[in-house]
Structure 1
Amino acid sequence: MPYVERNAAGDIVAVSATEDAIHRHLVDAEDPQLRVFLHKLSATPGLAETDLHMVRVLEDLIDLLVERAVIRFTDLPPAAQEKLSARRSARVSMRSLHLLDDADGQVVL
């Protein structure tokens, strides 16, 4: 059964599988308010979809800043360096298989 956070009007504004300081109210999984909240989430264009595009924008921005010597790659935190290197390697591998279009990085089927 999920735990929810409610606003001052009593509307559900967040859901969690576990109880914590914010998600204190236990509700039935079939609760009508919970169903409405979850439906709104699925009907709204998800942040995850736009996040995928933003990741590529940030990668390109970082590459540009490094290329123009505004920052050094080693200025980035080690975790960021590892993630960027892994994504760069994955893109190179996909290009070598001709699965990516060079123009925009889209997968070619």
Structure 2
Amino acid sequence: MVFVERDANGEIVAIYRSPQNNAHEELALHDPQIVAFLGASNSDFNHSDTALIRVIEDIVDVMIEKNLLRLTDLPIAAQEKLLSRKTLRQRLSNSLDLLVDSDQGLL
């Protein structure tokens, strides 16, 4: 069992192991409301992770451009992942370029 805190709309905003000032309602861990709340949190984390990965890739690119880091300084697995993602981004960028005529804008 867990204790939940709800907002003014009745939506769960926090889950605790023990009662808190704003969390007296007790629910089972398998309660659909708990499952939905945890699933939404997981989705938020996944979105945040994806954005953070892109930031880290950009930082690595800038460090390489400024000769602060060499790709070969990184472990082989990291090199492979960075190169793979860079290749995928270039392919996506190139496929999007097919939709644009530089003289006329979008086709």
RMSD: 2.6
Between structures 1 and 2, the one with greater helix share: 2
Task: Decide which of 13, 17, 37 is 1:40's aligned counterpart.
Answer: 37
**1:91 and 1:43 mapped to 2: Cα distance?**
28
**2:65 and 2:74 mapped to 1: Cα distance?**
14
TM-score (structure 2 length as normaliser): 0.58
**2:40 and 2:93 mapped to 1: Cα distance?**
35
**1:83 and 1:52 mapped to 2: Cα distance?**
14
Between structures 1 and 2, the one with greater strand share: 2
Alignment of 1:7-46 (within 5 A): 9=18, 32-35=28-31, 36-44=33-41, 46=44
**1:77 and 1:33 mapped to 2: Cα distance?**
41
Identity of aligned residues (%): 31
The answer to whether 1:79 aligns with 2:72 is no
**2:40 and 2:79 mapped to 1: Cα distance?**
35
Unaligned runs of 5+ in 1: 1-6, 10-30, 100-109
Letter in 2 for 1:92: Q
Unaligned runs of 5+ in 2: 1-15, 19-26, 98-107
